[in-house]
Structure 1
Amino acid sequence: MKATKSIYITLLVTLGLFLSACEDLTDLNKNPNSAENISSNYILTYTLVNTGKTFANLGRNGSNIAAAMQYMQAGTNEGAAVTNQYAWTAEGWNGYYDILRNNQIIYDNGVRDDNKMFQAIALTMKSLVFGLLTDLYGDVPYTDALKASSGTFFPKYDSQAEVFKGILTDLKTANTLLSSLTAKDAVSATADVMYKGDGAKWKKFANSLRLRYALRLADKKAEMSALGINLETEFKEASAGAFTSKADDAAIAYLGTNADNSFPGGPLASATFNWLTKPAKPLVDKLISLKDPRLQRWANPVRRKWDANVKEVTTKSFTNMFGETYSVVYVPAVASSADTSLYVGLPVGLPITQGIVYNKGNDTGVYPNEQNPYISFIHDRYRKNVDPYVSMNLMNYPEVEFILAEAALLGGFGVTDAEDHYKKAVRASMDKEGALTAATFNFDTYYAQTSVAYAGAANKQERILEQKWISSWFSVQSWFDWRRTGYPALKTGPVAQYGPALPIRYMYPSPNLDPAYIVNYNAAVDRLGTTNYIPAGQSKDHHYAKMWLIQGTSKPW
């Protein structure tokens, strides 16, 4: 956003500007335009919006994570090979630390002004972004980060355990601050684009994040206890004050008024829509088998459908359960291998030559490679500037209920009744997508299916995580959940470079060649765990290296 540039503008005083001798020189040295003097309300908007964009971009259509979690799949374009091979390269993190630097100003100003709400919001957002960084990379600069002004230019990479300790400590402090707000602890409702200055909602968000990270550490209870963090106590305290409905969701809406505040797939932000990826077959087939209405929220029906019941090419109108109407060309099926479904996903990891013609059969029509009409496209809403079902989502109520369900199942977190929380989670996910209002959908009928109901599951953790994966459509959190549990049991395609395994971390940014930086970088890399998927002679700074969080476990593979 252009306005945010003013945060970094330094007041320029030209040599031709003379000031009267009676002016106090200490006042002259105060810069009204420096970052520390910018209103925290202004910086808050920047921090929230850019954090929201960061989360949205990590999981949205076209991202490596959306492909890995098999929400979307490449395969009908020239760049598909890189995605399908999982040939990930080093990922930069400047954007994350830029958010954190601005967030630190909010915190420092909050301390200076004795504003507990600004302090709490800053601690919550700091925890969220550092939580994302350590989930992506492993060990990251934490305690010494953001201290360049005091001369620390090459911060050490803190151990992941220490980072999570700091996160949980800060979130607990945020909860305490938000429990004792007074009238002077105000935040502008306009600046707070997520919660409109509502301290009670920020408190719920802080506690919900505590649940997220406490469960993330489920296999590391002993190590965290040695650092003074009792995960059961953290979880029990946080569960009493977490999200209780979709009204609590930590989400930021797109405005759709210019390129900067519109959804990236809409015409304001993108001259041409990304047709290069398609809904992935594993997700589409799962939703079809469950008769799941969320499929119709996320994907379009095929434009040309193979059908054994028609004798000639026929155009028909199809209206889905949400009242959206599509024109579909029905084509006589000539081969038993044809996928005759109205919704068809692209298989995972096909060679490009196969992806281009997938399900095309003997149709000799000429179509753009990326627009094979026998494969479903992503829903039309993702080609709009704004849509009520598309937002920058940081955390939502269904995730909280899924967390409570799994914690109750695992035990040792002070929460009970896994089935009740699981059912609430599935229902909340349906509600989030507007499915409960569809005239032809009955939630109880859906839930009663043996492939959905909690009681019918042989592996109840897998059942919970499968529905959580579906609910987490386009969210980076599903990758972290899969990495921790191995569920759902996703497999790579035939061209995967390291098949059958999926990547488990981001590689660090290319290291600065300064010796002080190299020492810290090498120490972090040395702490990574090697795996059979790292080729001999390559650095452990690899997307198939195990970070501390999953070392000593058999997860995810």
Structure 2
Amino acid sequence: MKLYKYLIVFLAVIATSCDDDYFDVNGSETKPTTSSLPPQFRIQGAIENTTAQAQYRGSREVLGITQYGAQNATNYYSETWSSSLTTGRYFLWQNAYVYSLPNTADLIVLGERYASPNFVAVGKILRAYVLGMTTDQYGDIVLDETYDGVSSMNITPKFSTQEEVYETILSYLDEAIVALDEPSAIDLNEEGGDVLYGGDHEKWKKFAYAIKARYLNHLAKKSSYDADAVIAACQLAINSNELNAQKLYGGGPVSNDIQPFSTDGYGSSRMDYFSDFFVNLLKNPLNLDDAEWDPRLTIIVPEAVNGGYEGVVIGRGLNGEDGDNFSLGNGGFYTSLNSATDMITFSEVKFIEAEARLRKGDKSGAYTAFKIGVQADFEKLGVDAAATSAYLSLLDTEIGESNIELSHIMVQKYIANVLNPETWVDMRRMDYSSDIYHGLQRPENVNLDIFPNENDWIQAMMYEYNEEDRNYVNMPTNDPYVRLTTPLWWNTAD
């Protein structure tokens, strides 16, 4: 691949070698940096910075909350919600505003400049995706006054409310869907840069509808929640595993061509082992008296050196135990060198539909969507047909459409969305309920100063400390006792 043609916008390469360096986009040159190159040379960089930078960082910093992976060290700050977690260092904020959002802004500007609304559409879809991840971790964020590829940068931008951000996300998606049907001077895959969908407009539209369904469904606690609108978006969204929105990796040799959570990946240190919670959930996902191992367990989780499948308790680390007794975090379906990063998949779309149908009282429709979602995940992971059929039959025996509950949907969605930051949204929407996610507990050694009660769970991330230093006048409170414990807008009832 001729990487020099795409600029990948050099930030991706720099980021992989200097993962924790903060490139202060708001405090650097204030003039726009949009290049004169046409948009076909920028689309790959926009896609890859969305996944390899923003989504990766959004996943990595919440692993101690979503509890997919665990550290080998005891009392690691991100697992116990303490130390530099409370001072706002090197989180999604940096990667979204420095790497990802500028690329999407440039793609929109270049698409307009070169009479190619299909590139404008892709820029808006990716921008909606990144803004969604960012607001879902912080709440109020910078929106209208961030880098736009045209205006001089404002180093003290105002913040927009999360409600305003959600309105913008949905507008971007609707506008993009329309723009994808407009004639364009340049094909999306003119230079092979569309590494997501190869220039297929219909696939991009299904991706946009899938994101729309996701964000409409986040509003389940709001009076504006419309289950029918969620279901309608799902019907137009990704409808097969072949259309899954995934960033593919080749497995090397350069660092930006390997899965970040694999061995030697720049996020591998956060995935020392799979967690005790996740491994136990896979051992008994249906919460049966007689545990039935999920066939996906051995595909996702490597066997421990000393045999068996055991996870490390979040916050405890190895605590003097032999690491060979536990399942390494690197090397499974999601954490091998060539593992893909899922943005949104067919299975997630069906679980979103199942939840929406259940909320409107359509148990039959909910169960049907639920089963399709489970089957889609099994097929994505390559589970053999006999094991898949047996598991689906078990669902009929143990659940059935008359007994489908929210817990069944959310547990399967949790398993299907490994390492996706969307899981943190779901866990907060479900109020971290152990009735929903059976076996879920707070980490050991959790920060009792901020989270003194057993029902206290982290609700949002601290804003980046650079933003606080530079833009404290406009930034909402960054007091950890408030920020970390206050539910976001979509998580409060009207």
TM-score, normalised on structure 1? 0.72
User: 1:94 corresponds to which residue?
Assistant: 94
Which residue is 1:137 aligned to?
138
User: Quick one: which amino acid aligns to residue 65 of structure 1?
Assistant: V
Describe the SS at the equivalent of 2:341: strand
Task: Evaluate the alpha carbon distance shift between residue 41 and residue 165 of structure 1 in structure 2; reply closer, same or farther with a 3 A threshold.
Answer: same
Pick aligned residue for 1:525 from 459, 477, 481: 477
CA displacement at 1:420 relative to structure 2: 0.5
Root-mean-square deviation (Å): 3.3
Q: CA deviation at 1:408?
A: 0.5
State the distance in 2 between where 1:202 and 1:152 align: 32
- The residue number in structure 2 matching 1:21 is none
Letter of the 1:119 partner, please give it.
Answer: V
Note if 1:281 corresponds to 2:226. Answer: no
Deviation of 1:449 (Å): 3.1
Distance 1:266 1:294 in 2: 18
Unaligned runs of 5+ residues in structure 1 are 10-32, 225-230, 305-327, 329-341, 358-370, 527-537
1:253 and 2:248 correspond: yes
Q: What is the alpha-carbon distance in structure 1 between the residues aligned to residue 410 and residue 416 of structure 2?
A: 10
Residue 27 of structure 2 corresponds to none
Letter in 2 for 1:94: Q
Q: Aligned partner of 1:404: which letter?
A: E
Is 1:420 equivalent to 2:368 in the alignment? yes
1:85 maps to which residue? 80
Provide the identity percentage: 22
2:320 is matched with 356
Deviation of the 1:152 alpha carbon: 3.2
Q: Using the alignment, how far apart are the partners of 2:50 and 2:270 within structure 1?
A: 26
Question: Alpha-carbon deviation of 1:275?
Answer: 8.8
Give yes or no for contact 2:6–2:193 (8 Å, CA) kept in 1: no
- Once the two structures are TM-superposed, the CA of residue 176 in structure 1 deviates from its matched residue by 1.5
Distance 1:41 1:263, change over 3 A: same
The answer on whether the counterparts of 2:117 and 2:184 sit within 8 Å (CA) in structure 1 is no
Q: Is the 8 A contact 1:508 1:541 kept in 2?
A: no
Q: SS of the residue aligned with 1:394?
A: strand
Please list the CA deviations of residues 446-491 of structure 1 after superposition, one character each: whole Å capped at 9, or x if unmatched.
Answer: 1333698542886701111011111111111111111112342521
Report the CA distance shift for 1:34/1:479 in structure 2 as closer, same or farther (over 3 A). Answer: closer
Q: Distance in 1 between matches of 2:282 and 2:468?
A: 49
Q: Residue by residue, what CA displacement relative to the aligned partner does 1:363-397 show, whole Å, maximum 9, x if unpaired?
A: xxxxxxxx52222223534798733xx11221111
Out of 207-216 and 47-56, give the one that drifted further. Answer: 47-56
Q: Which amino acid aligns with 2:123?
A: A
- Shift of the 253–404 alpha-carbon distance from structure 1 to 2, 3 Å rule, reads same
Return the alpha-carbon distance in structure 2 between the equivalents of residues 34 and 59 of structure 1: 25
Cα pair distance change 1:276/1:66, threshold 3 Å: closer
- The equivalent residue for 1:19 is none
| CA distance in structure 1 between the aligned counterparts of 2:397 and 2:423, rounded to whole angstroms | 18
Counting only pairs closer than 5 Å after superposition, residues 372-451 of structure 1 correspond to structure 2 as 372-378=323-329, 380-381=331-332, 386-387=337-338, 390-411=339-360, 417-437=365-385, 441-449=386-394
| 1:471 has 2:416 as partner | yes
Given candidates 69, 73, 80, the residue that maps to 1:72 is: 69
Provide the C-alpha distance between the structure 2 equivalents of 1:84 and 1:514, rounded to a whole number of angstroms.
Answer: 26
Deviations 1:35-54 (A, max 9, x none): 34122122211111111113
Q: What is the CA–CA distance in structure 2 between the aligned matches of 1:133 and 1:195, rounded to whole Å?
A: 24
3-state SS of the aligned residue for 1:135?
A: helix
Q: Distance in 2 between matches of 1:349 and 1:143?
A: 38
Kept in 1: contact 2:58–2:133 (CA 8 A): no
- Name the amino acid aligned to 2:127: K
Partners of 2:464 and 2:184 in 1: CA distance: 44
User: 2 CA distance for matches of 1:269 and 1:275?
Assistant: 10
1:311-369 CA distances to partner (integer Å, 9 max, x unpaired)? xxxxxxxxxxxxxxxxx5xxxxxxxxxxxxx212223333x5x7322xxxxxxxxxxxx
CA offsets per residue over residues 220-277 of structure 1, 9 Å max, x none?
243x8xxxxxx4564354233201101111111112231222223556657x974973
Deviates more, 1:493-502 or 1:157-166: 493-502
- Post-superposition Cα deviations, 1:82-139, rounded to whole Å, max 9, x if no partner, equal 2442212314423212321221121122223321211111111111011111101000
Q: Which amino acid aligns with 1:403?
A: I
Aligned to 2:239: 244
What amino acid is aligned across from residue 139 of structure 2 in structure 1?
G
User: Match for residue 549 of structure 1?
Assistant: 490
Amino acid in structure 2 at the alignment position of 1:246? N
Larger radius of gyration: 1
Q: 1:58 to 1:293 in 2, by over 3 A?
A: farther
- 1:17 maps to what in 2? none
In structure 2, stretches of 5+ residues that fail to align are: 12-31, 285-291
Taking structure 1 as reference, are residues 404 and 265 closer, same or farther at Cα in structure 2, changes over 3 Å only? closer
Distance 1:294 1:545 in 2: 35
CA distance in 2, matches of 1:202, 1:347: 39
Q: Is the 8 A contact 2:40 2:186 kept in 1?
A: no
Which amino acid in 1 is paired with 2:67? Q
- Quick check: 1:298–1:379 contact (8 Å CA) kept in 2? no
Label 1:187 to 1:416 Cα distance change in 2 as closer, same or farther (>3 A): farther
In structure 2, relative to structure 1, the CA distance for the partners of 1:36 and 1:459 (3 Å cut) is same
Q: Deviations over 1:53-82 (max 9, x none)?
A: 13552466xx342232221223x436x432
Q: What is the aligned residue count?
A: 446
Structure 1 CA distance, aligned partners of 2:69 and 2:243? 28
Distance in 1 between residues matched to 2:343 and 2:184, nearest whole Å: 28
The corresponding residue for 1:38 is: 37
